[in-house]
Amino acid sequence: MSLDALKREAAARAVALVRDGMKLGLGTGSTAKHFVDLLAARMKAENLSIVAVPTSEATRAQAASLGIPLSTLDETPELDLTVDGADEIDAALSLIKGGGGAHLREKIVALASKRMVVIADETKAVATLGRFPLPLEVIPFGLAATQRNLTKAFAQAGVIGEMKLRIKDGAPFRTDSGNLILDAHLGVIPDPARLAAHLDAVTGLVEHGLFIGVASGAFLATATGIKTLGNVA
């Protein structure tokens, strides 16, 4: 089975969690895109009444094109369930997110939800986070100074690595909020909570891609079937 087919399998399992009347958070990325597709199909087939808050402009456009009723966290500040992909997931359900540059809104939406369920193919499961470069959304003002403080935060947290400004189509990548992304190549993050605490203290960093204690469960699609982590009930 292709990786894309595995992503769709995981998304299909998460769509089965949806109940009539739910307020949903919609993630971003290729796996979340399958979820949005399958959700729209199920809503149509079963005439479900759902309202959804997207985590990016891309997901907003996709959901709107499929006729999914959309809301904002201002109108709907508490959600029942957010379903989103991840770049890495460990056994404790700690995540690295932000490969698509949407982790700021993804974290706000996930934290506004009673539960977050991750959908991913098995290649995202790791013993230790850090092989995937950690996305750091930063304010453009004072970038070099913020970068120095991030390097200090890495040292305080016992990790080391290079940061690279994310480039897309030959220009610095801009998030939906107009910020820049630094991708931190750390290799391993032995204590993600410790690193998150040090990063949280850096002014100029808007949000990092570590999601600790945010996801309640996960569907991981493997070649031999779906593996469940945590609580997906």
Of residues 26, 35, 87, 196, which one binds ligand 5RP by CB under 6 A?
87
Contact 189, 87 (CB under 8 A): no
Our finding on whether 116 is near ligand 5RP (CB under 6 A) is no
Of the listed 106, 122, 137, 207, which one is catalytic?
106
Output the CA angle 143-30-185, nearest 5 degrees. Answer: 35
| Least distance (Å) between residue 77 CB and ligand 5RP | 22
Q: Which of 159, 165, 217, 166 is nearest to 193 (CA)?
A: 159
Nearer to ligand 5RP (CB atom), residue 12 or residue 155: 12
* Among 100, 90, 60, CA closest to 209: 100
Q: Which of 10, 24, 25, 27 binds ligand 5RP (CB under 6 A)?
A: 27
Q: If binding is defined by CB under 6 A, does position 85 make contact with ligand 5RP?
A: yes
54 touches ligand 5RP by CB under 6 A? no
DSSP label of 103: H
Cβ 20 to ligand 5RP shortest distance, Å: 26
Coil, strand or helix: which one is 5?
helix
106 is catalytic: yes
CB 52 within 8 A of CB 42: no
For ligand 5RP, the closer of residues 32 and 182 by Cβ is 32
Beta strand pairing call for 180-185 and 162-165: antiparallel
Q: Which two tokens stand for residue 151?
A: 């390097």
Q: What single-letter amino acid sits at 101?
A: G
Tell me: does residue 30 bind ligand 5RP (CB under 6 A): yes
Q: Note whether 147 binds ligand 5RP by CB under 6 A.
A: no
Catalytic site positions: 106
Q: Which residues bind ligand 5RP (CB under 6 A)?
A: 27-32, 84-87, 97-103, 106
